[in-house]
Amino acid sequence: MTAVELLKVESEMAHADVLSALDGVTEKQSWAILPNLGPDYLHTDASIHGIALHIASCKFMYASIGFRNTEIRWRDCADRIETLEPSWAPALAYLEESQEYWMSSWSNLSDKELEEERPHFSGKLWPVWKILQTVIHHDAYHAGQIAVLRYGVGESERPPLSVAEDIRKYCAELPSW
């Protein structure tokens, strides 16, 4: 097995962990928010819905900028997400679409290219292996968050805050806006 083949397997496994954590989540459960009792920003509103959209937008961005010459920008993700919110089924479809885009963006990568530097959405250059590992770990990290949220929150009648607005707030100053 080559290093790239192993990374592909790891990426599919991490995504499967996200899907497993999401299995059976209802729309109302996806909307429930864990109260913020600490000083940290979770890169989401602490709802399962927000985490799913965050994972998806990050996959689109890492793939687009690192492997597809920035064909998708943060503002495109915000605009797209705005059309999906607050519905759960379209959010899940967007997450699946992001995984397909992510995997196809580096499907022809060779082991020799893992040390090459590619652009990151921050404007910095990262080695390809770091881009791949970051997205793999990102899935695993958020799968764990989702599992905890499923345990710790019930359901909500009120949709969470807009992820699209969050992207506009935190990403508008990035060179990949």
Sequence-distant (≥ 6) Cβ neighbours of residue 53 within 8 angstroms: 44, 81, 84, 85, 91, 94, 95, 163
End-to-end CA distance of the chain: 37
- Decide if pLDDT at 39 tops 80: no
Q: How far is CA 165 from CA 16, 21, 75, 160, in A?
A: 28, 25, 10, 11
- Decide if pLDDT at 122 tops 80: yes
CA distance 48 to 94: 14
CA distance 88 to 102: 21
Handedness of CA 76, 78, 79, 81 (dihedral sign): positive
Contact indicator for 157, 55 with CB cutoff of 8 Å: no
- Domain boundaries defined on the chain: 1-32+45-108+156-177
Q: Which residues of 93-132 are buried (b: 16+ CB within 10 A; e: fewer)?
A: ebbeebbebbeebbeebeeeebeeebbbbeeeebebbbbb
CA distance 154 to 80: 28
pLDDT at 52: 97
- Decide if pLDDT at 43 tops 70: no
- Decide if pLDDT at 45 tops 90: no
Q: What residue has token string 């992001």?
A: 98
pLDDT at 41: 61
- Report pLDDT digits (tens) over 49-67: 999 999 999 999 999 999 9
Q: Which residues of 32-54 are buried (b: 16+ CB within 10 A; e: fewer)?
A: bbbeeeeeeeebbbbbbbbbbbb
Question: Mean pLDDT of all residues in the chain?
Answer: 95
Q: How far is CA 11 from CA 18, 32, 75, 92, 168, in A?
A: 11, 28, 25, 18, 27
Provide mean pLDDT across the span 83-111: 98
